Amino acid sequence: MLSVMMKGSGYERGKAHGQALKTQIHKAYQELCAPIDLPPAQKTWHINDFLEKLHKSFPDMVREIEGIATGSDLAVNQIGELVLWEELKAIASQVSKESSCTAIAFTHTPDGPVVGKTSDIEHFQQPYYVLEYIEPDTGYPLLSMGKVGSTKTEIGINHEGLCVATGSLLPCDDGEAGIERMTLARIVLQVASNVDEAIALISCFNLIRLGLYFLLVDASGKACVVEKGIAHQGFRFPDHNGIIFATNFYMAPAMRKYIDRSAFYYQNALERYVTLLNIASSSLPQEGLKGMQKVLRDHSFTGPICAHFEQLGLCSLFAYIVLPEERKMMIADGYPCQVTFQEFGF
């Protein structure tokens, strides 16, 4: 697993990222961006639109993108394209297999709140995941599982104990394009200190073409899932036992009409949701950390949480457990049923 330390201003953070991961960034750009079938002018328009909107609200993040470009010897627009590669593929109506992840939280356990998540991805994406230690000159220090050459966060925790875990959604709503979805997750960790602040921030912005769920849990045990489309969103909160989870379809009443059932992972997402319903009524949530490890290694016949569906590009090649009270993240670098979780913290 790759890792990088990023400190200082946006530009300084980005330059450190670009220099440390230059070889991987060039490989990622060639592998992920070359197949995007969009006319160059259209592609450039979408990238510039994203960068301009990001600059209006978070200029520090644009400076980070510029720093990545400098450090890796690529153009700013090439890094912008690497940030948006999944969105651009979807805009081009190409088959898009964005990450199809499972996330679950037990908010009342002997170990405090416990968050679990898988990254269900294709094998070619695995080398481009990177654990980032980020100390911004303004905002909160954070640990982020990101992607090389980008400002994305798939899961992370900040120094205040706020955890954000994400998963892809394919929406069919319309609206003006906004901020790239996992860049918004990264911004939340840098700016927000708790679930309420995170909800307020997420609610201010549209996304670009693809949706995302944000599972938010803070050190106090407060939790929420924000299901977000391009311009609409809905909220779900833990059940009476303090359990909340999400797979890759909309469940919030406000969002159900925006489900795009053509998503390649739709049936599998339904099956994983049923598995999580069964887990929620079992004794595993009372086991805290140990129970979450068992969840992430689940091999139910239908809807297994630890996915090995190579033909679908649904492989749990990373798994994570976050302990917000302790400000720790544990990572399984590989199928969680086959490897141990390594602990990382501040």
* Predicted structure pTM score: 0.97
Helix (H, G, I), strand (E, B) or coil at 27: helix
Lowest mean pLDDT among 95-99, 226-230, 251-255: 95-99
Distance (Å, whole) CA 131 – CA 181: 18
* Mean pLDDT on 264-282: 96
DSSP letters, 29-52, are IIIIITT--S-HHHHHHHHHHHHH
Domain hosting 301: range is: 103-345
pLDDT of residue 94: 62
Q: How many residues does the chain have?
A: 346
Q: How far is CA 49 from CA 81, 172, 276, 307, in A?
A: 12, 21, 39, 36
Helix (H, G, I), strand (E, B) or coil at 193: coil
* Mean pLDDT on 288-307: 97
Give a yes or no: residue 63 inside a domain: yes
| 186: CB partners within 8 A, 6+ apart | 61, 144, 146, 151, 152, 153, 156
- Quick one: 79 and 119 in the same domain? no
CATH of the domain at 50: 1.10.10
Distance (Å, whole) CA 310 – CA 67: 36
* Mean pLDDT on 66-74: 98
pLDDT of residue 264: 86
Q: Label residue 100 by pLDDT band (50, 70, 90).
A: confident
Give a yes or no: residue 59 inside a domain: yes
Split into its structural domains, the chain has a count of 2
* Mean pLDDT on 92-99: 66
pLDDT of residue 69: 98
CB 76, CB 24: distance < 8 Å: no
CATH of the domain at 230: 3.60.60.10
The fraction of the chain above a pLDDT of 70, given in percent, is 98
